[in-house]
Amino acid sequence: MRIAICLESAALLTWEIISLLRFWKKLCVSVLCFIASTGTKSALAQKPTRAVQFKAAHSWSDPLRIEPRLSGNFGEMRGNHFHTGVDLKTEGREGLVVIAATDGQVSRVKMSPWGYGNALYLDGPDGVTTVYAHLQRFTPKVQSWAVERTYAVRSLGLDASPPASAGLHFQAGDTLGWSGNSGGSGGPHLHFEIRSTANQHPLNPLDGWLDKVDTRPPLLPVLWVESPAERLRVALPVSDTLVLPGKTRFAIEGYDLLDGASNICGLRTLAAQVTSESGETLLTYRASWDELDFAVNKDMNAHAFYPVWSKERDQVHRLHRLPTNRLGIYTTPPSEGWVELDSGMRAELRVAATDAAGNATSVHVSLVGGLSLSPEGGVCNDLGAQDHGEWKVEPGFAGTQSHGSFEFAWKAGTFFESEIMGVFVRENGRTLEMMPIDVPYRKSIQVQWPVPSSVNVWEGAWSILPGDTLPSDRWLAVQRKESGEVARAVVASWLDSAWEVDLPRGGHWTLERDTVAPRVLPYHSGTPLMVSGDAVWYVEDALSGIADVQMTIQGRWARVVWDPKRNMVTYAAADAIHPRGLPCPVSLQVTDEVGNIHTWRRTLTWP
């Protein structure tokens, strides 16, 4: 394995034979040292992990009765966070028995249209909590406790901690529920987590908790080279010496593939080093995904090479930890990551990755200093002299700025690095373009948005007649995809003479008004009643989105399950609050984010 790495690295170089041989010898030694320091199988095997200690003292069952196959692992980049568990495949279907991994007490039950969906938290011995998410339903004694609790608090969804008196105690191997596709799940699977009970930090389930055979090493297919002026994509391996355009920093696409699945998974460790030809270390970096912390997990946006991550969803890791990045996964000090080589000066970049099974991959790139490119000017240069303003924002400071009648306010820590903020006002104030676009916003920018000048008031979406007073309610700042589909919509609140909106990212925002109530349609034409006795509706809202769903049967509050993925609302006959054989009034009230309400009312007779 190690010899193969040396051969591969050597083959990348186009140098003369003699220097190649001399270098090869040096490289083999340094790659060996480097690999050894990144924690491979042998290093892991030396100290018993928490999982090994736990299993020696307590019973343990894998949460599914089938061979574990993973569609996702711990630490892979997802949306705006690192994935905090493993996603176990469930043969593409729902309803597989989910069993308790440890003995324990149910400490939390969640039922939500979003996120974890139906989820159960089990507090086991030695401060170990296991979490089972996206379930179809819970085992009957948990299910009936959760349903009863929902009727007591009359909420859409539930997030509650059962008291010990509820008797929700299980032993390893007991049935906890059935696998499903609830919440933010993109298909049937079981999301499984191991947490430290005390601080709720998720631990890597592949650190000895779940045994998963994996023989495929991680992949490092693309290096990204960033200078103040440009971004360069370099396919790996690369045989040519890379000429650096002055001050430069690096990011690498790195991921793992597991046996028996094609899904892109996260790495276990990633390390990088830049060494000058005189042996000086110019950059050193190491991250490992053993434990995460929900409090700072969104700083994944600063770990990722955001311009590529946000557009392509490729797992591209910055090879430096930004000083404002609070993640605890690094063992090297923070750094802005810039490497500057004098013209003609040579250096080596080495990157090594391991997966949870200890398979390792490394790449090696020869670098030489070149001439620096001058960076572009301000963010607004290419757009000519239009109605725009720009200013600098430092990560550690809050601030305010105005542009025309627009006002902008940001909190300290909004950006991870100092940025030039730029704003353009277009269409007489109906559209706002906010820069920067391809960096993450950790906090929203608060914008006071004045009423646009009246010129366009009766055109298009502004469908009011001249002379009418512009209504100030039910407005949203909307960002649309190229296809025209709504990407995100932020409710605007009216303050005297302007709207206030919290914009969570840069780009093109337009004021739009939502006056249309959600659509509500019974599952069958005419009736929502199914043979099972469940009542099912389709609900949809075109612009602002659905905020709440409330149902009554004979005036009595009834629990519904809203599934935004399928646009469906279900009343479960198992709740049994409906009378049978008698006509009774039923109402379903669906409210959107700006308060438009559709109330569906009928008399239904359950068989």
**List of residues contacting Zn ion (CB under 5 A):** 87, 191
Closer to Zn ion by CB, 83 or 318: give it: 83
Shortest spacing between CB 157 and Zn ion, in angstroms: 19
Q: Which of 322, 506, 307 is nearest to 417 (CA)?
A: 322
Closer to Zn ion by CB, 87 or 207: give it: 87
Shortest spacing between CB 87 and Zn ion, in angstroms: 4
Shortest spacing between CB 83 and Zn ion, in angstroms: 6
Q: Which of 383, 592, 583 is nearest to 486 (CA)?
A: 592
Shortest spacing between CB 72 and Zn ion, in angstroms: 5
Shortest spacing between CB 213 and Zn ion, in angstroms: 20
Q: Could you give the CA distance from residue 415 to residue 413 in angstroms, rounded to a whole number?
A: 5
Closer to Zn ion by CB, 132 or 408: give it: 132
Closer to Zn ion by CB, 191 or 578: give it: 191
- Count CA atoms closer than 13 A to 126's CA, side-chain side: 14
Closer to Zn ion by CB, 191 or 442: give it: 191
CB count within 10 Å of CB 547 equals 16
Shortest spacing between CB 191 and Zn ion, in angstroms: 3
- Do residues 95 and 179 lie in contact, with contact meaning Cβ atoms separated by under 8 Å? yes
Shortest spacing between CB 92 and Zn ion, in angstroms: 16
Q: Could you give the CA distance from residue 125 to residue 57 in angstroms, rounded to a whole number?
A: 9
Question: What are the φ/ψ torsions at residue 383 (nearest 5 degrees)?
Answer: -105, 5
Q: Which residues touch 531 (CB under 8 Å, ≥6 apart)?
A: none
Closer to Zn ion by CB, 87 or 355: give it: 87
Q: Could you give the CA distance from residue 399 to residue 64 in angstroms, rounded to a whole number?
A: 51
* DSSP codes, 562-601: EETTTTEEEE-GGG--S-SSSEEEEEEEEEETT--EEEEE
Q: Could you give the CA distance from residue 482 to residue 384 in angstroms, rounded to a whole number?
A: 23
Q: Which residues touch 459 (CB under 8 Å, ≥6 apart)?
A: none
SS3 401: strand
Q: Is the dihedral of CA 494, 499, 502, 505 positive or negative?
A: positive
* DSSP codes, 65-130: SSPP-EEE-TT-EETTEE--SEEEE-TT-S--EEE-SSSEEEEEEEE-SSTT-EEEEEE-GGGEEE
Closer to Zn ion by CB, 76 or 290: give it: 76
Shortest spacing between CB 78 and Zn ion, in angstroms: 8
Q: Could you give the CA distance from residue 556 to residue 91 in angstroms, rounded to a whole number?
A: 40
Instruction: Please give the helix or strand (H or E) that residue 11 lies within, else none.
Output: helix 2-11
Shortest spacing between CB 190 and Zn ion, in angstroms: 9
Q: Could you give the CA distance from residue 447 to residue 500 in angstroms, rounded to a whole number?
A: 6
Closer to Zn ion by CB, 207 or 514: give it: 207
Closer to Zn ion by CB, 130 or 275: give it: 130
Closer to Zn ion by CB, 184 or 450: give it: 184
Tokens of 167: 């008797």
Closer to Zn ion by CB, 191 or 317: give it: 191
Shortest spacing between CB 88 and Zn ion, in angstroms: 9
- Count CA atoms closer than 13 A to 97's CA, side-chain side: 10
- Do residues 474 and 594 lie in contact, with contact meaning Cβ atoms separated by under 8 Å? yes
Closer to Zn ion by CB, 293 or 427: give it: 293
Closer to Zn ion by CB, 355 or 419: give it: 355
Q: Strand pairing of 175-179 and 97-99?
A: antiparallel
SS (H, E, C) 147-185: HHHHHHHCCCCEEECCCHHHCCEECCCCEEEEEECCCCC
Shortest spacing between CB 193 and Zn ion, in angstroms: 8
> DSSP code of 145?
H
- Do residues 568 and 536 lie in contact, with contact meaning Cβ atoms separated by under 8 Å? yes
Closer to Zn ion by CB, 209 or 424: give it: 209
Using Cβ positions, the residue closest to Zn ion within the complex turns out to be 191
Q: Could you give the CA distance from residue 272 to residue 318 in angstroms, rounded to a whole number?
A: 10
Q: Could you give the CA distance from residue 309 to residue 440 in angstroms, rounded to a whole number?
A: 10
Shortest spacing between CB 261 and Zn ion, in angstroms: 14
